[in-house]
Amino acid sequence: MIVNEKIAVDHGLKKSEFKEICNLLKRVPNITELGLFSAMWNEHCSYKSSKIHLKKLPTTGKKVIQGPGENAGVIDIDDDDAIVFKIESHNHPSFIEPYQGAATGVGGIMRDVFTMGARPIANLNSIHFGSVQHKKTKNLLRGVVQGIGGYGNCMGIPTIGGQTCFDESYNGNILVNAMTLGLVNKNKIFYSKATGLNKPIIYVGSKTGRDGIHGASMASAIFDEQIEEKKPTVQVGDPFTEKLLLEACLELMADDSIIAIQDMGAAGLTSSSIEMASKGKLGIELNLSNVPCRESNMSPYEIMLSESQERMLIVLENGKEEKAKKIFDKWNLDFAVIGKTTNTKKIEIYFENNKVTDVPIDFLADKAPMYNRKWKKTKLPTKNKFNKDVYKSLKISDVLKKILSNPNVCSKEWIWQQYDHTVMGDTIQKPGADAGVVRIHGTNKAVAASIDSSADYCFAHPLTGGKQVVCESWRNLISVGAQPIAITNCLNFGNPEKEKNMGEFIECVQGIGEASKYLDYPVVSGNVSFYNETKDKGIKPTPSIGGVGLIKDYKKMISMGLTKIDNLVLIIGKTEGHIDQSIFAKNILNQKKGPPPEINLFNEKNNGETLLKLISDGFIKSAHDISVGGILVAIVKMSISGNKGINIKKPENLVNYFEYFFGEDQGRYLIEIEKNDLNKVKSVLDKNSVYFSEIGVIQEKNIILKDKLNVTIDELIKSNKTWLTNYMSK
């Protein structure tokens, strides 16, 4: 095939980019070479629209061993233990083929983690779907959940937390963000940088097929009515093979055989080989005739761009080939020597004794375009002036039940019950809590992890929304008694070539950076997913934040469930009654405009650190951060979780009942304490200038607010736990 401009454009390259490729090579690339450029220069692999902005994020800290730039981030959790973690998107594939798209998303992120020598110990996910009225939503939700559960359960890795949201902006582009944590000895971490000359390049895992070709390019494309034609670009996963690959890799990692190792993820053999060589400033020579293929007559182009799953590329020490082969033979996996490192700084590819590619590594990696795109700033919306007369027709009990049954507030038990969250026996905080928690086996330590997003806040004002989602992650870890350490992010946005979308991205990143820096909560890994659009309609800006923290003594972990009759419940943080962008404003008042709640980073940090001290000292018996739905929804969730009621006091400085109880002011928590400890707790809060107020006393089954509310927990459970089950059963 003779390559021309049209073929290059069909591969997702701009006309200007194709011209630049020809200028670099001083010739027209052949079809295999064009395939390499299309993969390495697309948004998914090159980060060409985001790189200059991501560089501004804080990425270092006392506990950071490895920041962005590797397969995953690594943090120190004391002793010789470290946690490897990352979040990745698999949005486009999951919309096209929900089961396999979600399943291979889970498989891919787990490979990113165990590639670094870590055994996966926990999975989480953040999934976003279109309107519940949309014809595709129910089937997409069912397929994605089955795919996540099918892969994770077969691998024997617990899914300990997640988030599910519905919004019409995802009608044409759902989001599937998968996160994995792994445990590794911090002295035995493996990296992807190739070193040394004439070192054997080893292919291991499954055979290469034609599935997933152009998967990386498709991930950087906008959908249209021909979406069904893109199904061949979706990879097909096999969790049982991945389990074998995990065990084989960890066995090989037990000695000093491996120089570098890289998962064959997006762009398959292309990205893995080029990235390894680029990091090591080396060349690489590949003989594709040696690549194990499961389909006949595969071309070099197809072999290099295939995204068949469960494959790894390894640079071995010389003389270790036979030992390595025995290990992979034992686990019934393919093993082949397919090349070597060189001093040419080129990728040279041979097939059937013919040289089919001869391209400097630098052209594919460092010379990839980097754009500083034009963007528009989002103005902070003015606050709405709500007509207080509208409140007169509302009953708190009716409003509460309606919000509890809202798709974005209701219990997601139907989802997480399909995931195995107890396998491995170390899960001590299951899904549905502020954060999932797993013990570090054989120690007193535990690791907490949460995942959050806030598309509505980010859509209203991206800078504030970016700050908020980091703070939400921080609060969720604090609420279980974990010291927050670091975050990973998955940044899901529309077409970056549109100034509005690019502005949303830049300002969200700025907000994430400001909050992360202030909280000493650095970003150690992540992913950017652009072009989440269908027929020119994009998603709301949706940054997903995965947070990880440490509990030094897991016996001091707390949950959100109320524990004891007659204990007191306090509100930490001041309530102003901000209802713009709240679920109350949108779901009850049908008002979608207005600014998100303000973020006070000093209060976020101060309130959180003070609560951690109180938790460590044993004063706090349960806790829950106040987020979507406000105070009353948070109270109900604590009540349902602990099967206890609460007698709510009339709040001090009450502005309005609805604004007070359903407003979404930030930086707030509910905490449960013993009555006898009230003075001691007050003393600590006062000393640290933490605003607080008493909200109520724990009692039996009913939640009571004098003259305003008297409902049983059973009534509220019915409102909160039945909607999703009923929806999926219809």
Q: Residue 728's closest CA among 264, 413, 281?
A: 413
Going by the DSSP 8-state scheme, the letter that residue 697 receives in this structure is E
Sign of the torsion formed by the C-alpha atoms of 30, 33, 35 and 41: negative
447, 406 in Cβ contact below 8 A? no
Active site residue 11: no
What is the rounded CA–CA span in Å between residue 581 and residue 599?
14
665, 573 in Cβ contact below 8 A? yes
Active site residue 90: yes
91, 79 in Cβ contact below 8 A? no
What is the rounded CA–CA span in Å between residue 406 and residue 420?
26
Instruction: Please tell me the chain's helix, strand, coil percentages from 3-state DSSP, rounded to the nearest 5.
Output: 40, 25, 40
Full strand arrangement of the beta sheet holding 354-360: 258-263, 311-316, 200-205, 334-342, 283-287, 346-351, 354-360
What is the rounded CA–CA span in Å between residue 116 and residue 84?
8
CA distances from 385 to 21, 392, 458, 595, 664 (A): 56, 16, 21, 12, 16
66, 190 in Cβ contact below 8 A? no
Q: Residue 163's closest CA among 482, 467, 435, 564?
A: 435
Determine which one of 11, 44, 214, 421 is catalytic: 44
Structure token digits, residue 550: 């440490």
The 3-state DSSP class for residue 569 equals: strand
Determine which one of 11, 90, 92, 578 is catalytic: 90
* Residues found in the chain: 730
Q: Residue 528's closest CA among 502, 499, 493?
A: 493
The 3-state DSSP class for residue 663 equals: coil
Q: Residue 479's closest CA among 523, 438, 448?
A: 448
Q: Residue 169's closest CA among 595, 494, 498?
A: 494
What is the rounded CA–CA span in Å between residue 451 and residue 247?
28
Q: Which residues are catalytic?
A: 44, 90
